[in-house]
């Protein structure tokens, strides 16, 4: 399947003004954490426990970086060869910016990193199977978008790509480097895209025409068309979710919610569901109420 061409670009709007009533922020990644498992939200957003990077996350981050840089090239130069040529330089850049990624491979291991780069390049083949970047001019890439809902909550996140058609229609595109959707992951991915759709609707007055998931491993496309009524319901869901987070924080009560996603959790040793004991609840500090656990809501590819 080849994506329809989008040949128009649009300057991003100015940053949304934050009213003095706003006292908290929420990103789709942290909201999804709480929906998945309240204790996971606590570990990441309140305890801020470190998590060792995984090969899968690093590969997702690398592929996202390559696809972002690919659109810096002239349209005619956006070829599979050019994308492949970006893999090693982008990995070197990521290693410089995030030295912890070097711990993914044992010292002296040359085969592991080489195979890692080959596997990232293979995912790019999946991208070119579903889109022709020579026919696209994205309006925004890896862009931070934000909006205020319920007067007190700032919702924000980084979208992979926003396309704007000549008639002003919006298409939100999200790259997924994991396999084609299984139910739990598809629900999480669509939650993330609806989050972005709500922000765009509230800031631009336009409901995105298409929310598109590109599953690069299996070269599959999943399109979803939201409407205003659905986004209004979703907004109420987000506000209710934040209220639940506030109540859990006030009570210091974040309970585990075991699921098949536990297999990928970095914190099983501290989880009561696996015989562990969470650390003492942190003493609240002054902090910045608009900081949602991390300065960047989620690294590209981190939720793969």
Is the Cβ–Cβ distance between 146 and 15 less than 8 Å? yes
Where the chain has pLDDT below 70, the residues are: 1-17, 180-186, 284-304
The pLDDT of residue 295: 35
Question: Which has the closest alpha carbon to 137: 177, 175, 166, 174?
Answer: 166
- Joined tokens for residue 257: 């919610």
SS3 category, 130: helix
Distance CA 238, CA 271 (A): 26
pTM of the model: 0.85
What pLDDT is stored for residue 17 in this prediction?
61
pLDDT value of residue 183 = 56
Which two structure tokens, joined as six digits, stand for 125?
A: 């083949």
Helices 55-70 + 80-97 axis angle, to 10: 120
């Amino acid at each position: 399947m080849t994506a329809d061409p989008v040949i128009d670009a649009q300057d991003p709007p100015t940053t949304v003004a934050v009213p003095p009533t706003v006292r908290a922020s929420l990103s789709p990644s942290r909201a999804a954490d709480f929906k998945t498992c309240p204790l996971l939200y606590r570990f990441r957003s309140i305890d801020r426990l470190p998590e060792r990077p995984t090969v899968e996350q690093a590969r997702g981050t690398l592929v996202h970086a390559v696809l972002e840089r690919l659109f810096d090239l002239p349209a005619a130069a956006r070829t599979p060869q050019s994308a492949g040529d970006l893999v090693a330089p982008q990995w070197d850049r990521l290693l410089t910016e995030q030295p912890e990624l070097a711990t993914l491979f044992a010292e002296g291991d040359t085969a592991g990193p080489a195979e890692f780069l080959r596997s990232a390049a293979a995912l790019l083949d999946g991208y070119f199977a579903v889109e022709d970047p020579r026919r696209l001019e994205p309006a925004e890439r890896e862009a931070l978008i934000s909006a205020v809902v319920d007067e007190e909550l700032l919702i924000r996140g980084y979208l992979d790509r926003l396309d704007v058609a000549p008639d002003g229609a919006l298409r939100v595109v999200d790259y997924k480097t994991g396999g084609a959707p299984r139910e739990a992951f598809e629900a999480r991915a669509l939650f993330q895209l609806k989050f972005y759709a709500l922000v765009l609707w509230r800031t631009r007055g336009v409901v995105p025409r298409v929310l598109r998931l590109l599953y690069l491993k299996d070269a599959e496309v999943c399109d979803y068309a939201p409407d205003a009524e659905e986004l209004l319901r979703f907004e109420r869901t987000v506000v209710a979710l934040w209220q639940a987070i506030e109540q859990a924080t006030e009570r210091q009560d974040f309970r585990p919610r075991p699921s098949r996603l536990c297999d990928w959790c970095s914190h099983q040793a501290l989880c009561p569901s696996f015989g562990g004991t969470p650390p003492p609840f942190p003493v609240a500090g002054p902090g910045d109420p608009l900081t949602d656990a991390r300065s960047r809501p989620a690294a590209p590819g981190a939720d793969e």
